[in-house]
């Protein structure tokens, strides 16, 4: 692609920031109201896990279909379609919770919500990696910080909605309207790129989209890419588990009320955001491998304190901060590492995102089952081993210029 004017690059970057923000806003809006949904339907922890499984299954299907959507329709139409599905899913969740009180409606909404977020996740990371290369600066952690800014906003609005006892349906419908309005404005600043199928009238010869999809799937044979996927899997499992369960863990495991649970979730996403905003300079200074190892150590320390450190609110908050910092950079660094091969960057980013999101498929029912039988805090012990594994795989993410050439 020819070099873009500076103003166009800045607008492109800001548009990607906004898409990340909207995705984070949607996720946190749901998560902050999980205790309220549980109370509306009077369901158990393992049932909550199965409800979240609906989102996880939808996310995996969305991730799997994202390459085909991107290849067939391009990033602009694909992101509009995906975020409109996100908004529709939120509406269904709200209706199922506080209007109809029917579990299947919520499950359907979760599946739609998950599909939309799964597919847009790949597209926004592909766009983010491309913008990062064009601008020539480390931007992926900051892009993921905007996802965290969105989760902070969603957590704050969710805590406020909980505090004033706003029905889940009204809260999520308002968020859905905001997302739809924002995405139609934002995508106008995403450049048209033939490489992701945006321009069907280009004069250059193009492979059929089926052939491009087949080429995208071939990257799964790369061992280094799979190890990068393990890093993303471990940190995503720890991050996603906080998104899904930290509010309930604070309520059921430590004995606080629903509003405190939403506030602690806000502390987690704030810590994630701080880590991601600071991540670019830290990575440029120390490089990926030691930073990933340090993050894994912080995550293990925070989780251990959260699980075993007692139930006082100050301890829970300190533990949550460490947990959030430990999860902050795994996903964005994995995306940047996957995009090191510019020729196949889109396919590799898609593949790593799919591997990472497997955590969202296995995590909710596993932790829900373990939480129901052994307590939600004990269920979180699973995350400790996964973070250790992510730290051990950190060398796979080493920058291309720092890797030792193969003999």
Say if residues 166 and 40 touch (Cβ distance below 8 Å): no
Mean pLDDT of 198-206: 49
State the pLDDT at residue 78. Answer: 92
Say if residues 341 and 224 touch (Cβ distance below 8 Å): no
For residue 290, being part of any structural domain is answered with yes
What CATH number has the domain bearing residue 27?
A: 1.20.1250.20
Say if residues 99 and 41 touch (Cβ distance below 8 Å): no
Mean pLDDT of 245-265: 88
For residue 155, being part of any structural domain is answered with yes
State the pLDDT at residue 207. Answer: 59
For residue 207, being part of any structural domain is answered with no
Of 209-213, 233-237, 349-353, 370-374, the least confident: 209-213
Q: What is the pLDDT of residues 307-342, one digit of tens each?
A: 998 778 999 999 999 999 999 999 899 988 887 776
For residue 82, being part of any structural domain is answered with yes
Residue-number span of the structural domain to which 133 is assigned? 6-190+215-397
Q: How far is CA 209 from the centre of its chain?
A: 27
The pTM for the full model equals 0.75
Mean pLDDT of 383-399: 93
For residue 403, being part of any structural domain is answered with no
Of 130-144, 192-206, 228-242, the least confident: 192-206
Residue 198 pLDDT greater than 90, yes or no: no
For residue 253, being part of any structural domain is answered with yes
Average pLDDT, the chain: 85
State the pLDDT at residue 18. Answer: 96
Q: How many CB atoms lie within 10 A of CB 147?
A: 27
Mean pLDDT of 48-56: 82
Q: What total of structural domains would you count in the chain? A: 1
Say if residues 254 and 42 touch (Cβ distance below 8 Å): no
How big is the CA angle at 62 (ends 60 and 66), to the nearest 5 degrees?
120
For residue 208, being part of any structural domain is answered with no
For residue 119, being part of any structural domain is answered with yes
């Amino acid at each position: 692609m020819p070099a873009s004017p500076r103003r166009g690059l800045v607008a492109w970057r800001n548009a990607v920031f906004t898409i990340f923000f909207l995705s984070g806003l949607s996720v946190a809006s749901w998560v902050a109201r999980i205790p309220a949904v549980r109370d509306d339907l009077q369901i158990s922890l393992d049932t909550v896990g199965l409800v979240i499984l609906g989102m996880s299954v939808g996310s995996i299907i969305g991730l799997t279909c994202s390459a085909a959507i991107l290849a067939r329709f391009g990033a602009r139409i694909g992101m509009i379609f995906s975020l409109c599905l996100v908004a529709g899913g939120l509406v269904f969740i709200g209706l199922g919770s506080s209007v109809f009180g029917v579990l299947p409606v919520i499950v359907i909404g979760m599946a739609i919500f998950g599909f939309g977020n799964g597919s847009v996740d790949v597209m926004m990371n592909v766009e983010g990696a491309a913008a990062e290369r064009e601008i020539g600066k480390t931007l992926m952690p900051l892009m993921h910080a905007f996802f965290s800014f969105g989760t902070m906003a969603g957590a704050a609005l969710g805590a406020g909605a909980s505090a004033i006892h706003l029905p889940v349906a009204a809260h999520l419908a308002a968020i859905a309207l905001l997302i739809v309005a924002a995405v139609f404005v934002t995508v106008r600043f995403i450049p048209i790129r033939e490489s992701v199928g945006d321009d069907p009238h280009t004069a250059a010869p193009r492979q059929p989209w089926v052939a491009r999809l087949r080429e995208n799937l071939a990257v799964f044979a790369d061992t280094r890419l799979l190890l990068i996927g393990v890093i993303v899997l471990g940190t995503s499992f720890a991050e996603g588990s906080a998104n899904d369960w930290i509010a309930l863990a604070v309520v059921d495991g430590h004995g606080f009320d629903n509003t405190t649970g939403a506030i602690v979730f806000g502390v987690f996403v704030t810590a994630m955001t701080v880590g991601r905003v600071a991540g670019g300079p830290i990575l440029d200074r120390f490089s990926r491998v030691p930073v990933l190892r340090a993050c894994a150590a912080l995550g293990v320390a925070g989780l251990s304190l959260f699980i075993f450190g007692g139930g006082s609110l100050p301890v829970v908050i300190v533990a949550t901060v460490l947990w959030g910092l430990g999860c902050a950079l795994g996903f964005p660094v994995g995306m940047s590492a996957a995009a090191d091969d510019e020729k196949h960057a889109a396919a590799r980013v898609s593949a790593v995102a799919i591997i990472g999101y497997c955590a969202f498929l296995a995590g909710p029912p596993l932790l829900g089952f373990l939480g129901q039988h052994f307590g939600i805090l004990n269920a979180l012990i699973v995350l400790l081993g996964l973070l250790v594994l992510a730290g051990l795989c950190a060398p796979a993410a080493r920058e291309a210029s720092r890797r030792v050439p193969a003999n």
